[in-house]
Amino acid sequence: MKNKDFTRRRFITTVSVGSAAAVVSGAIPTFGKITTLNNETGKLAILGGIPVVKEKVWPAWPYVDEKMVEAIARTTRSGIWCRIQSSTGTVPTFELEYAKLMGTKFALGTGSGTQALSTCVEALGIGPGDEVITSPYTDMGTISSIITSRALPVMADLDPESFQLDPREVERRITENTKAIMPVHIMGQPCNMERIMAIAKKHNLKVIEDTCQAHLGVYQGKVLGTIGDLGCFSFQTSKTISCGEGGGIIGNNEELMDKCYTVQNHGTSRKGRSETIGPKYRMNEFEGAILLAQLGGAKDRFALRNKNAAYLTSKLKNFPGLVPQKLYEGTESGSFYLYTMSYHKEHFNNAPRDKFLKALSAEGIVMSGYIANGLHKEPWVDHILNLKVYQKMYSPARLKQYLEELACPKCDQVCADMVMLWASGPLLGTQADMDDIISAIMKVYDNRDKLNSI
């Protein structure tokens, strides 16, 4: 018996025949709570059985405490609502504290993650005629930051196990117009930055890290967002540090960070000179207040998400039906904005993902797919290719090649197979909560022969 957590006798009395066979064959070495045989608890809830979890209440998200409420009240009363009213207001103070937390020299608040990325594209002088290589498996904010400067977002396909940009695909798509790579640390876990940075160095490209989901993740001893030239964060409500809508940029290059300030301040520098092209993307003092007030507990919540994620992954080890997101060597911690797995229907009696999710949800554990379509399949592609500026700046041959190389079959596969657990609430739960998640998965697995009939 390979399983160390259970004696064979206890194991056989608590695990259904299907799972037992799989475990004995080495397919599932460890479990959390186990479903029982042939009673109402073992019967799928969707077929009238008793759910594994009744009325599960996860820790609420966004995180709220009295300190945050008081901070908003203080800002309201102060009349300092805009960052340029005071050099010691909540936004400048948040910038100092965020830089400290991230271990960078500088941080800059913006109104959203999209604005942070856009600011960096503009500050690096990337515009019409230039190309930026990025992932199709991301939020539209990533692409938007490139097309608002009228540059060409070039999609590179994914590593289907990590759901991250495949560095080989990135290198394949470099042209003489490529100016930057925008790796997206999807789900908050690190890309293969060692390879991406090596490619950038070899081809003299800038790297803007889309760290919008990846607050506090660490790769090879470096905090995500500090590996490339600039790192961009989102503080939108769902993110692991949040203020409704907000964003930030971190970096160590003073001149470049000053440029970022100027760009997001409608082109006006800290010295008050109107110098360049720039929208108004400033973070406001209410956003600064709520962010500052929650920074204190951010590291503890981050550690808890990592602990619970590691526990779930240990329980799913060698279970072929759900395979957690692959983490690259050098990953010391992830943000775990989402906890994601690929669903392998061949181990669930070929039941489609939706049937698995429906059965799981009836057991009281809600999971879902994530991005339905890679962004290479969305209408913005046709839109920009029909714009005069793109037709003027990129040759017909380049635009033809662009369309021909747009296919990202690995990304399509990831979109179809992905199963995600919303992490900010559930991963802030207890170990018993994690056991409930595993029990529900295993109960559905035990009953996989019934999935196609639901």
Ligand X SMILES: Cc1ncc(COP(=O)(O)O)c(C=O)c1O
- Contact call for residue 342 and ligand X (CB under 6 A): no
> Among 112, 149, 306, 331, which residue sits at the site for ligand X (rule: CB under 6 A)?
112
Report the nearest approach of ligand X to the CB of residue 244 (Å). Answer: 10
Structure tokens that stand for 171 in this block: 């290198």
Q: Which of 32, 62, 109, 113 binds ligand X (CB under 6 A)?
A: 113
Q: Which of 16, 35, 134, 142 contacts ligand X by CB under 6 A?
A: 142
Burial of 242 from C-beta contacts in 10 A (0-12 / 13-18 / 19+): buried
Q: In angstroms, what is the minimal distance from the CB of 113 to ligand X?
A: 3
Yes or no: say if 194 and 203 are a contact pair by the CB < 8 Å rule: no
Report if residue 141 touches ligand X, rule: CB under 6 A: yes
Contacting residue, 159, 210, 229, 446, with ligand X by CB under 6 A: 210
Question: Which member of 197, 212, 316, 408 binds ligand X (CB under 6 A)?
Answer: 212
9 by Cβ neighbours in 10 Å (0-12 / 13-18 / 19+) ranks as: exposed
Q: Which is nearer to ligand X, 19 or 331 (CB)?
A: 331
Minimum Å distance from CB 239 to ligand X? 7
Could you tell me where the beta strands, DSSP code E, fall in 259-391? 322-324, 331-333, 338-343
CB of 452 to ligand X, least distance (A): 34
C-alpha distances out from residue 144 to 153, 186, 212, 238, 445, Å:
9, 17, 14, 19, 40
Closest to ligand X by CB, 56 vs 410, is: 410
Query: Is 104 an interacting residue with respect to ligand X (CB under 6 A)?
Result: no
- Torsion angle of C-alpha atoms 404, 405, 407, 411, degrees rounded to 10: -170
x/- letters, 120..139, toward ligand X (CB under 6 A): ------------------xx
* Sign, Cα dihedral of 261, 263, 264, 270: positive
What single string gives the DSSP state of each residue in 131-193? Answer: EEEE-SSS-HHHHHHHHTTTPEEEE--EETTTTEE-HHHHHHT--TTEEEEE-B-GGG----H
| 220-259: contacts with ligand X (CB under 6 A) | 234, 236, 247
Site string for ligand X, 172-191 (x = CB under 6 A): ------------x-------
Tell the smallest beta-carbon distance from residue 111 to ligand X (Å). 8
Nearest Cα neighbor of 446 from 17, 11, 9, 8 is: 17
d(CA 280, CA 119): 10
Stretch that binds ligand X, among 27-35, 108-116, 382-390, 425-433 (CB under 6 A): 108-116
From residue 112, alpha-carbon distances to 109, 214, 317 in Å are 8, 15, 37
Nearest residue (CB) to ligand X, 183 versus 251: 183
Q: Identify which of residues 136 and 141 has a Cβ nearer to ligand X in the complex.
A: 141
Least CB distance from residue 426 to ligand X, whole Å?
A: 18
Question: Smallest distance, Å, CB 209 to ligand X?
Answer: 10
Residue of 167, 152, 129, 187 whose CA lies nearest to 334: 187
Q: Specify the amino acid at residue 42.
A: G
| Minimal distance, residue 328 CB to ligand X, in Å | 17
Nearer to ligand X, 92 or 247 (CB): 247
Q: Is 262 in the site for ligand X (CB under 6 A)?
A: no
Q: Return the DSSP state at 31.
A: -
Q: Is the dihedral of CA 378, 382, 387, 392 positive or negative?
A: positive
C-beta of 157: minimal distance to ligand X in Å? Answer: 17
Number of residues that bind ligand X (CB under 6 A): 14
By CB under 6 A, tell whether 114 contacts ligand X: yes
Least separation in angstroms between residue 376's CB and ligand X is 15
Nearest to 336 by CA among 310, 314, 357, 315: 310
Question: Which residues lie near ligand X (CB under 6 A)?
Answer: 112-114, 138-139, 141-142, 184, 210, 212-213, 234, 236, 247
